[in-house]
A and B are shown apart, each in its own frame.
Chain A
Amino acid sequence: MKVVINGTPKDFTAPLNLYDILEQEDMIEMMIAVARNNVVVPRDQWSDTPMEDGDSLEILGPMQGG
């Protein structure tokens, strides 16, 4: 299945949940927030969030700001 991560499409082998995707991306331990199809998914719900073909993920982390 195809999942768009921060604007870039990527292929994964289904079935997967959000936790699996982040684990495969090597980001599970990071201080991040994730929105699936523009809806924020709290960290404790990553394992319970099944991914579907065409889903879009926005993965954000800390950055300098004014």
Chain B
Amino acid sequence: MDQLTLAGTQLSSRLFLGTAQYPSPDALAKAIEAAQPGLLTVSLRRESAAGKGQKFWEIIKGFNIPVLPNTAGCHSAQEAVTTAEMAREVFGTNWIKLEVIGDDYTLQPDPFALLDAAETLIQKDFTVFPYMTDDLVLAEKLIATGCHILMPWGAPIGSGRGLNNPYALKLLRERFPEITLVVDAGIGAPSHAAAAMEIGYDAVLLNTAVAKAGDPAAMAGAFSKAIEAGRAAYLSGIIAPQESATPSTPLIDKPLWHQGSF
């Protein structure tokens, strides 16, 4: 399959996998093994002498998969910028999934704070992966700020609703053919991820759908196949839907056929 390259780094898969909410560290490791994701998302929290976060990192670093730290839980541009700077210190990468929450009920990103934070971080040499709504004008402004990757939501984080607004997502794809587009959040079933890939998205980022599945490793494998299938379908040229039927089996020379039978 054609490989995705982000900021000069070739990724082995178009599935980006979150590392939170797994029933155990072992379940996380098995899900990563089954998914073989191109990217793993990680986060930052207060560390203590007990070194809880260090143990988590031991699992992740063994896979040798690029990591994308996030600014989850930030509610202001300043908070997100500081968290991004600390993430760069901890993980040694200038990639950041920029997340600035504007509404606690839907976890909808705050577009204004997102834009402010993106501008500051790009000036500080970060490669910003903004987690955003599917708003076209916001996308234009983020691109004008210097973002080359956009990550619109499919649906609210953890909702498993799939693609709430396929029209808006398709529009972003059509309007920004040169931008790397990733559906981030809201994915529930592998078919949702395949649908995102079929409309030309470059990758899908998901977490809860795998972590909370009955069998996370098996679900991770299912998502991996769905994303691969969706990408192959997009590249192969999906037929346009039409209202009327067209017989798929040729009628000429069918048994008992004779001139004038129709």
Contacts and interface: CB of A to CB of B under 8 A. Distances in A.
A52 to B, nearest CB: 20
Interface of B: 18-22, 28, 41-49, 51-54, 56-57, 60, 69-70, 72, 82-83, 85-91, 157, 185, 207-208
A36 to B, nearest CB: 12
B20 A66 contact: yes
A34 B46 CA distance: 10
Residue among B60, B82, B87, B89 with max Cβ neighbours from chain A (10 Å): B89
Interface string A32-57: 11110010101100000000000000
Contacts of B48: 6
26 contacts: A7-B46, A27-B49, A31-B53, A31-B57, A32-B90, A33-B87, A33-B88, A33-B90, A34-B86, A34-B89, A35-B82, A38-B82, A40-B85, A61-B47, A61-B51, A61-B54, A61-B90, A62-B44, A62-B54, A63-B53, A64-B21, A64-B28, A65-B19, A66-B19, A66-B20, A66-B72
Nearest to B84: A40
Interface residues of A, number: 24
A10 B175 CA distance: 55
B56 A62 contact: yes
Contacts of B21: 64, 66
A66 B45 contact: no
